[in-house]
Amino acid sequence: MKTVIFGGTFNPPHFGHLKLMEAVKSAIEPEKIIILPAFAPRNRREELASVDDRLEMCRLLAEGVSGAEVSDFEAKSGKISYTADTLEYFREACPDDRLYFAMGSDLFPNFPNWFKARRIVELAALVCVARSAEDINACKAAEKTVKSWGGSCTFLKCEPFVCSSTDIRGRIKRGEPTDGLLPENIAEYIKRRRLYRG
């Protein structure tokens, strides 16, 4: 079974995340997608909703993606997790699955310098989502390294979403509308819980 792992802060999850998942689903045709919210962002200045709120919003996001489920493995760990350790967990939990790890083209050029990068490509095939051919070209050196390690990498082009999680949080804080940016169930949850109000 093909299983794609989507990590991120999901603070909050939005239509851009859905768009990426649909692009990967179309290309890889996985039976399962694991949405994996992190415990904390690497940028500690980011205004962060609680672990429980982000997990619940991810569960609401998963309702719009067939085959999707949410894992609290990183969110409940109480620490910033390394991708290699996370993939070791899923390899043990899903020993018969073909694992894929999705990432953006902004992260991929530095991937060979990640903690235990060589082990990551032993545990999972990489799926890199890029905004343009130029972004893909910027990843060529890292791709060559991954392939020299015996790893697999698939590049997908996906038009960038109009708004980031940071932009959406700013809109909410300023009382501006988020129509077309958030699935309705997530927008309602944020309103009910009064998240990102500052």
2-162 CATH, one of 1.10.260.40, 3.40.1280.10, 3.40.50.300, 3.40.50.620: 3.40.50.620
pLDDT tens for residues 95-151? 999 999 999 888 999 999 999 999 999 999 999 998 788 888 899 999 999 999 999
Query: Domains of the chain: which residue ranges?
Result: 2-162
CA 93/CA 115 separation, integer angstroms: 21
pTM of the predicted model, to two decimals? 0.93
High-pLDDT (> 70) share of the chain, %: 97
pLDDT tens for residues 147-166? 999 999 999 988 878 788 99
pLDDT of residue 183: 96
pLDDT of residue 44: 60
pLDDT of residue 157: 87
Q: Over 80: is that where the pLDDT of 198 sits? A: no
φ, ψ for residue 36 (rounded to 5)?
-125, 85
Coil, strand or helix at 198: coil
Of the candidates 3, 161, 14, the one whose C-alpha atom is nearest the C-alpha of residue 94 is 3
Cis peptide before 12 (omega within 30 of 0): yes
Of the candidates 119, 97, 80, the one whose C-alpha atom is nearest the C-alpha of residue 34 is 97
Which range among 20-24, 46-50, 56-60, 80-84 has the greatest average pLDDT? 56-60
**Does residue 37 contact residue 8 with C-beta atoms inside 8 Å?**
yes
